[in-house]
Amino acid sequence: MKDTKFRGIICPVVTPFDVNGKIDETIFRREVKYLLNTGIHGISPGGSTGEGAALHDDELTRLVEIIQEENANQIPVVAGIIRNSTQDAIRAGLAVKKAGADALMVTPTYYNVLVPDNAGNYEFFKSIAEDVGLPVIIYNVVPQNEITPELFYRMLDVENIIGIKQSVGGIQAFYKMKLMCGNKGLIYSATDDMLYSTFALGADGAIAAILTLFPEQCLKIWDFVESGDYDGARALQDKMYPIWQIISGPQFPRRIKQALQFVGRYSGYCRSPILSASTVEKEKLEVLMKEL
Amino acid sequence: MKDTKFRGIICPVVTPFDVNGKIDETIFRREVKYLLNTGIHGISPGGSTGEGAALHDDELTRLVEIIQEENANQIPVVAGIIRNSTQDAIRAGLAVKKAGADALMVTPTYYNVLVPDNAGNYEFFKSIAEDVGLPVIIYNVVPQNEITPELFYRMLDVENIIGIKQSVGGIQAFYKMKLMCGNKGLIYSATDDMLYSTFALGADGAIAAILTLFPEQCLKIWDFVESGDYDGARALQDKMYPIWQIISGPQFPRRIKQALQFVGRYSGYCRSPILSASTVEKEKLEVLMKEL
Amino acid sequence: MKDTKFRGIICPVVTPFDVNGKIDETIFRREVKYLLNTGIHGISPGGSTGEGAALHDDELTRLVEIIQEENANQIPVVAGIIRNSTQDAIRAGLAVKKAGADALMVTPTYYNVLVPDNAGNYEFFKSIAEDVGLPVIIYNVVPQNEITPELFYRMLDVENIIGIKQSVGGIQAFYKMKLMCGNKGLIYSATDDMLYSTFALGADGAIAAILTLFPEQCLKIWDFVESGDYDGARALQDKMYPIWQIISGPQFPRRIKQALQFVGRYSGYCRSPILSASTVEKEKLEVLMKEL
Amino acid sequence: MKDTKFRGIICPVVTPFDVNGKIDETIFRREVKYLLNTGIHGISPGGSTGEGAALHDDELTRLVEIIQEENANQIPVVAGIIRNSTQDAIRAGLAVKKAGADALMVTPTYYNVLVPDNAGNYEFFKSIAEDVGLPVIIYNVVPQNEITPELFYRMLDVENIIGIKQSVGGIQAFYKMKLMCGNKGLIYSATDDMLYSTFALGADGAIAAILTLFPEQCLKIWDFVESGDYDGARALQDKMYPIWQIISGPQFPRRIKQALQFVGRYSGYCRSPILSASTVEKEKLEVLMKEL
């Protein structure tokens, strides 16, 4: 059954690196405190926004520890797991569980020629759910290894598999997933520029990069829709839309970090090979952030 | 300059796993011996065929050690490096260098939303080439992070970057790369079902999964083209073509392992989440392998 | 400026053919009468639903004449123009104008290797608008020749170009078009399975195949959103969604005609090479139509 | 069975238009004479190069008449038929047959949402072949309506369906078609920049835009391969390659016409909405044409 304690705005958090590619824990802790103060309903390190594919288990573990030092189990901590084999995903899952994670958000494997078929994906998520023993949210973000609504529907019979963050395919894929599986599992929006539209279609929450940049506004959109104020929600969505057009796309964490800097939340470097935002990206962002 | 000692048939080798996902060193050693006896010009563990994205550094290192125990530096050992950050790729490169690798075959990073732009890719390969200090062959296999001929041409000015294995885009991308960069760097064919056609366009060699299944025939195609017998080469290509149509595609290593079993070279399991070949796959392969 | 007389539910109409590929005017007239009785705000022959790419000018003209015989200028008649050169589109436009059309809905040219660039598309639509002298709605349905929001924004300075029917790219492309051009031109939804969601984002109307199958329900969705009853609108959208999943895709007119038959509105054959719906399609549709 | 009189270099010919979009018969006749003098094995008006999708039946007919006035049945005339319904294709086929065409080269229908399934495509080509009574070459150029090797294999049992011009999918699709259907039908190369490579794989001929720009060189490539001089053939292919990179892509006829002008064969305008080549295109072409 759907576990409603995981509903709402589950906010990703960036992983700040220093110039040598080491995690800057001071900045990370400051970001965590900032986000917790906004009233978000959950927090999620180690996803795409957190450059999780480039994080080792011990680093991911440390991020969860720092979060729980500040959070003290007030809101759920959903740890991102982005690995390329079942055993690596389980090992990472056990590590963050020990560090205090409340749930896992797990991508399918993604090295193009090694992505499995439905049977392999089923075994992958089932093994993780059973061996780690934490609630699992599938992070459906890999175009070359997409989890279909039919497959997710079957997976929902596995204990601990509770939801899906629908990223590939945009709002149309979200809606399809919602209509087919929404009565059994949690369906999260990851359509950063159309949050209102997905909330109006019954999303159980959002886990999306834009939440970490504009947590207050995204919480407002959520509350507006919950209270039936669709026009208010749409107005906010319209306003944030052009900024997301600049940020989205490959290596978006560098543009998120640049935008965070523009709102006074400097968040360090990305991990190589992702370099800092280009001059053109900075200029485009600066203009739009000022207009907001 | 082009280092001709790396020309020719550089043969990938599968990584045999037991039912628990541990490497089976006995089978691996037997496969290595088999391949070395065929007269291949180079050998390459840890690529896509070797499920390199799912291998840890210590495992990859062990594979290189075993190869050198059998090979004793007779032919070049080109170790596959499939990692998601610059520092992880360098660490893996240093490990296999110590174990006896003669060169690296390195993919660009591949987690879709974290793939870098040209500047990031340039830094990625330059750092690896410089910090590891081994010849580097770029493994151009990631559709979401393709290295263009223009970028590769620039990279060829970096010491130790010596070649590219052109996989994405098929023979047409290979030909473009060859015409633009063939005078400066080694251009390897990875078009498993059209080896002759790429050799006839001047490929400096091949690094392709099909080599490990049919090393003798692929060596013959190479020799035929070198000696000007194009008709002989094409006849062999025509013959192997239908088998590759069954093997190619996502999770092809499981079908390579199945085909190896049909020719008496049982190679164990794939690492989860890749399951063993399906009944349908087995049946299709069996029919074709018998016809060969 | 936006011409509000073209707002609302502009309903396509199928072109019924007999077994020899001739238009069956009796059935067409009956369909027109049926649709006019539902209270639709406009009617549109000769689009994709009407198999307009396979209609000659004289046939298209006859369809417009029949419509006006029944409609007597009560609601706007928007004639589809699907042609492959500027001169052919103008000729067709002049013919339907003479027959009583109130506006044109014109696709860009679509033979893949002959699609023009932005300058050519601009000239195409400008020439049609000027030479025919009727309001023009661009029918943005050709993936290989997509009109961008930037280009459409410029086109809106041409007299008579009044709107766009946004079909390629789904709701996300619709929303982008709406935000960029919605203050200058009419933006029509063509997202058959998400009409409510596009109306809630401010669509000026819809021109979509599903309207001709479920005109009453689609009018209700429109009215619900106009009156602020978003939940009512979404419930209807949820209900029609699965049927559209069966109908949509290449050669959808044959499935529309099959569905029309199931609701007692037999509409003849499609024009060859489109054959009648397959047995599988019929069975899937029958089950869903009964559930509705 | 394969009709060998249609083997070899079947050369497309452009359709020159004046500034008002009318066919310039004087230029067309001059082009036809030029091509016939080169020794080509066949000639093909009204294909993509000839902007056939924008030509009416009477125009196409006139082109065939002019060709036969100069050709006097010396070499086969293969008329392009690019239409959107079975009846339109048959009507066009009968018209060009009367005008003296020896064979038809027919595309599948191409308006995206109206493309048929396999059964519809089979009926389309069968009806044309039977009702027109001329040899039919399928022009496999429409990505949204691709004829598979399996389907073509079945079609080859229809009398008068004799071959396929394989354009979509490049050399790899060509090779697949050749291996599956080459013993029953003629397989033509349409891979403009890799003619030698397809000839070396057993192409029965070529029908490709580049032939009309460089007929002498393409004839040489054909003869080189026929006589076993693969190196000579490859050298010519290497030389023409960069020019095709500039010419290929949407609206390529305008760049063909520009290139023809650079070699002293001015060929007028394209039909609107295709405008003349841009300044950038002209400059790129001029540099390369001079180098040749």
ipTM attached to this prediction:
0.96
Evaluate if residue A3 carries a pLDDT over 80.
no
Residue A74 domain-assigned? yes
A265-291 tens-digit pLDDT: 999 999 999 999 999 999 999 998 887
Contacts of B119 in chain A (CB under 8 A): 275
Query: Across the interface, do A271 and B141 touch by the CB < 8 Å criterion?
Result: no
Work out how many domains chain B is built from and give that number: 1
Full residue range of the structural domain in which residue C75 is found: 4-246
- Say yes or no: A287 contacts chain C, CB-CB below 8 A: no
A163-187 tens-digit pLDDT: 999 999 999 999 999 999 999 999 9
Q: Which residue of chain B has the CA closest to A51?
A: B114
Residue C237 domain-assigned? yes
CB count in 10 Å sphere of residue C19:
9
C214-224 tens-digit pLDDT: 999 999 999 99
Query: Across the interface, do C114 and D51 touch by the CB < 8 Å criterion?
Result: yes
Evaluate if residue A118 carries a pLDDT over 80.
yes
Q: Which residue of chain B has the CA closest to A126?
A: B273
CATH of the domain at C97: 3.20.20.70
Residue B89 domain-assigned? yes
Residue reference for tokens 């998120």? A256
Residue D260 domain-assigned? no
Three-class HEC string of chain B:
CCCHHHCEEEEECCCCECCCCCECHHHHHHHHHHHHHHCCCEEECCCCCCCHHHCCHHHHHHHHHHHHHHHCCCCCEEEEECCCCHHHHHHHHHHHHHHCCCEEEECCCCCHHHCCCHHHHHHHHHHHHHHHCCCEEEEECCHHHCCCHHHHHHHCCCCCEEEEEECCCHHHHHHHHHHHHCCCCEEEECCHHHHHHHHCCCCCEECCHHHHHCHHHHHHHHHHHHCCCHHHHHHHHHHHHHHHHHHCCCCHHHHHHHHHHHCCCCCCECCCCCCCCCHHHHHHHHHHHHHC
Whether residue C139 lies in the annotated active site: yes
- Say yes or no: D111 contacts chain B, CB-CB below 8 A: no
Under a CB-based contact definition with an 8 Å cutoff, are residues C166 and C192 in contact?
no
pLDDT for res B290: 85
- Say yes or no: A173 contacts chain C, CB-CB below 8 A: no
Written as six digits, the tokens of D191 are: 């891979």
Q: Which residue of chain D has the CA closest to C125?
A: D273
pLDDT for res C145: 98
- Say yes or no: B282 contacts chain D, CB-CB below 8 A: no
Query: Across the interface, do A197 and C171 touch by the CB < 8 Å criterion?
Result: yes
**Residue B49 annotated in ligand binding:** yes
- Say yes or no: D230 contacts chain B, CB-CB below 8 A: yes
Q: How confident is the model at residue C92 (pLDDT cuts 50, 70, 90)?
A: very high
Q: Closest to D275 (Cβ–Cβ): which among C113, C114, C116? A: C116
pLDDT for res C292: 75
pLDDT for res D157: 97
Segment A6-23 shows an average pLDDT of: 98
Query: Across the interface, do D250 and C144 touch by the CB < 8 Å criterion?
Result: yes
**Residue A23 annotated in ligand binding:** no
Query: Across the interface, do A144 and B251 touch by the CB < 8 Å criterion?
Result: no
Q: Which residue of chain A has the CA closest to B276?
A: A120
Q: Which amino acid is at C124?
A: F
Residue C256 domain-assigned? no
Evaluate if residue D100 carries a pLDDT over 80.
yes
Marked catalytic residue, from B97, B126, B139, B196: B139
Q: How far apart are CA C194 and CA C142, in angstroms?
A: 20
Whether residue A139 lies in the annotated active site: yes
Residue B252 domain-assigned? no
Nearest chain A CA: its distance from C197 CA (Å) = 7
- Say yes or no: D134 contacts chain C, CB-CB below 8 A: no
pLDDT for res C2: 67
Mean pLDDT of successive 10-residue stretches along chain B, which has 292 residues: 85 98 98 98 98 98 98 97 98 98 98 98 98 98 98 98 97 98 97 98 98 98 97 97 96 98 97 98 93 77
Residue A138 domain-assigned? yes
Nearest chain C CA: its distance from A197 CA (Å) = 7
Under a CB-based contact definition with an 8 Å cutoff, are residues C222 and C9 in contact?
yes
Whether there are 3 or more C-beta pairs closer than 8 Å between C and B is no
Q: Closest to D171 (Cβ–Cβ): which among B171, B202, B241? A: B171
Query: Across the interface, do D241 and B179 touch by the CB < 8 Å criterion?
Result: yes
- Say yes or no: B182 contacts chain A, CB-CB below 8 A: no
pLDDT for res A4: 78
Residue A62 domain-assigned? yes
pLDDT for res C291: 79
